[in-house]
């Protein structure tokens, strides 16, 4: 073999060994991040990895002459530089709250539970059609700010004469953060009851959407909380308890997931620090209160684009290329760590079915045709709540039923107002409890 070829082979071999060493050290670092739960913003894992790499480099260079002894340290330096990016914050570590909305004043209420929440009030636009019972909106997330799209829908309800109140649940939007161990589904129910007490207007009607629907369902199973409700609307609920959360069922008609263009804008997951933190949290290898990133830093870093295909999954496949902008960058707020924490407390909770079967609050269930929710999450609520008086299967919409497209907002308003006013439903009562087996069998 010619000498240049031999040199090339040797160089290639050494390069591959160096890359393998760098990769090994990065893997060791990630393993240590998981084992130490990100202690000290990842510095504990980084210093340990650096120490391991230095010892191995010294061992490899022990028989070499002095200048050559430095060569094994090159992979260590490269690995140290790469992994150091996971330890350095790129956004403020103190909470940055969203800017004020230009069309709604934000109030802050301190609840008896200790939560301090951001509150929005949309009074009836036409006092002549004012309905006497306030309507409270529980948004989804969990621990996500109320989107501009949802604010517009609440304004539409106010134009129908409803006195609408909404609050961002603790940790979401402009509401204050809680210590991580206080984010539980039970705390969410207590906050709801405390909010109604603070409102001090007697019984209220409740509209709970997505994870807000799960909070509402659990509140209906709690007699002390349910005593504050006049009527309840459960829209596209998440799982109500542990047994429901572990159901492996099917979803609705095809959504726009994997069909819609990718969301544009900055992504925290393109930054090594947050890609590692959020990725390991999602895999369950980091706890929500990890020492790698603080709760406030995580909220500051997370962007709407980070939701990726989750946003598209809330729309029907036919709407894949016209998904509206749900929010603005200035208003968007989501706490991935607190959200995972609450979801875990749902998964760990025992069945609430026996308590829900004693519910007496008149209720309605709303189900979307292209729902991204597991159907059994919705039908389990219907099967176990005897006070659900009607179900409205909403054709042509995905999980986010009031989305500003076509006449979807008006159709949702028509369904909601008909129930609250005791009028004839604009859609068939479907599925009924007896129709649940056929509904699931037909993959509706």
Distances (CA, A) of 194 to 116, 144, 206, 326, 345: 11, 19, 14, 29, 20
On whether the CB atoms of residues 41 and 291 are closer than 8 A, the answer is: yes
In the sheet that holds 107-110, the strands lie side by side as 107-110, 116-122, 164-168, 135-138, 204-209, 229-235, 363-370, 388-398
241 with 182, same domain?
A: yes
Tokens of 10: 């040797």
Which domain, by its residues, includes 33? 3-84
Regarding whether 232 and 130 lie in a shared domain, the answer is yes
Please give the Cα distance from 423 to 415 (Å, whole number). 10
Rounded distance, CA 396 to CA 394, Å? 7
User: Which of 53, 84, 115 is the C-terminal boundary of a domain?
Assistant: 84
User: The tokens of 241 are what?
Assistant: 């308890």
Query: Within this chain, do residues 247 and 129 fall inside the same structural domain, yes or no?
Result: yes
Q: Are residues 437 and 367 part of one domain?
A: yes
β-strands 363-370, 107-110: how paired? unpaired
Q: Compute the distance between CA of residue 360 and CA of residue 54 in angstroms, rounded to an integer.
A: 68
Domain annotation covers residue 90: no
Here the tokens at position 32 are 């240590």
pLDDT of residue 220: 98
- Among 84, 99, 119, identify where a domain stops: 84
What pLDDT sits at residue 1?
53
Blockwise average pLDDT, block size 10, the chain, 444 residues: 59 70 91 96 94 82 69 83 95 94 95 98 85 96 96 96 97 97 98 98 98 98 98 97 93 93 88 95 94 96 91 95 94 96 97 98 98 95 98 97 96 97 96 95 87
pLDDT of residue 153: 98
Indicate if 49 and 192 belong to the same structural domain: no
Do 67 and 155 fall into the same domain? no
The pLDDT assigned to 57 comes to: 75
Strand partners for 167: 119
Same domain for 150 and 69, yes or no, is no
223 in any annotated domain: yes
Distance CA 188, CA 143 (A): 10
Tell me, yes or no, whether 199 and 76 share the same domain: no
Residue whose C-alpha is closest to residue 53's, from 81, 76, 33, 22: 76
Task: Evaluate whether residue 319 is within a structural domain.
Answer: no
| 252 domain residue, yes or no | yes
123 and 201 part of one domain: yes
pLDDT at 63: 67
Whether 272 maps to a domain, the answer reads no
Query: Does residue 72 form part of some domain?
Result: yes
Q: Is residue 96 part of a domain?
A: no
Q: How many domains in the chain?
A: 2
Q: Which residue, 285, 327, 266, is CA-closest to 139? A: 327
* Domain CATH code at residue 158: 3.40.50.1820
Residues 254, 391 share a domain? yes
Same domain? For 78 and 118 the reply is no
Flag whether 314 is in a domain. Answer: no
> Domain end: 31, 49, 84, which one?
84
- How many angstroms separate the CA atoms of 421 and 230, rounded? 12
Please check whether residues 120 and 219 belong to one and the same domain.
yes
């Amino acid at each position: 073999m010619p000498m240049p070829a031999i040199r090339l082979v040797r160089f290639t071999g050494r390069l591959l060994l160096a890359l393998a060493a760098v990769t090994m050290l990065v893997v060791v670092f990630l393993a240590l991040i998981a084992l130490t739960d990100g202690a000290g913003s990842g510095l504990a894992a980084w210093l340990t990895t650096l120490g391991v790499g230095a010892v191995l480099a010294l061992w490899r260079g022990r028989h070499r002459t002095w200048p050559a002894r430095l060569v094994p340290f090159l992979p260590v330096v490269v690995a140290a530089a790469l992994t150091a990016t996971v330890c350095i914050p790129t956004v403020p570590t103190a909470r940055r709250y969203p800017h004020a909305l230009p069309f709604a004043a934000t109030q802050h209420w301190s609840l008896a539970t200790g939560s301090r929440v951001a509150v929005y009030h949309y009074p009836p636009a036409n006092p002549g059609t004012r309905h006497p019972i306030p309507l409270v909106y529980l948004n989804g997330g969990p621990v996500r700010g109320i989107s501009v799209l949802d604010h517009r829908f609440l304004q539409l309800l106010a134009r129908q004469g409803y006195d609408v109140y909404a609050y961002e649940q603790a940790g979401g939007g402009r509401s204050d953060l809680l210590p991580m161990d206080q984010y539980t589904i039970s705390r969410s129910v207590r906050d709801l009851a405390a909010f109604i007490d603070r409102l001090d207007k007697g019984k209220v009607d409740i509209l709970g959407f997505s994870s807000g629907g799960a909070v509402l369902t659990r509140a209906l199973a709690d007699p002390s909380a349910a005593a504050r409700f006049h009527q309840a609307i459960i829209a596209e609920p998440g799982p109500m308890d542990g047994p429901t959360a572990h159901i492996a069922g099917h979803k609705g008609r095809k959504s726009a997931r994997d069909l819609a263009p990718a969301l544009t804008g900055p992504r925290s997951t393109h930054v090594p620090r947050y890609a590692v933190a959020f990725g390991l949290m999602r895999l369950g290898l980091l706890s929500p209160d990890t020492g790698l990133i603080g709760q406030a830093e995580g909220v500051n870093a997370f962007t709407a684009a980070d939701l990726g295909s989750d946003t598209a999954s809330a729309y029907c496949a036919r709407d894949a290329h016209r998904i509206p902008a749900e929010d603005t960058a200035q208003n968007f707020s989501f706490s991935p760590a607190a959200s995972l924490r609450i979801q875990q407390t749902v998964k760990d909770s025992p069945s609430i079915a026996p308590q829900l079967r004693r519910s007496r609050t008149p209720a309605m269930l709303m189900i979307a045709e292209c729902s991204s929710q597991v159907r059994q999450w919705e039908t389990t609520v219907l099967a176990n709540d005897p006070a659900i008086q009607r179900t409205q299967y909403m054709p042509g919409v995905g999980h986010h039923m009031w989305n500003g497209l076509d006449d979807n907002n008006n159709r949702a308003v028509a369904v909601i107002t008909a129930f609250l006013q005791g009028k004839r439903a604009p859609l068939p009562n479907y599925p009924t409890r007896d129709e649940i087996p056929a509904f699931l069998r037909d993959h509706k």
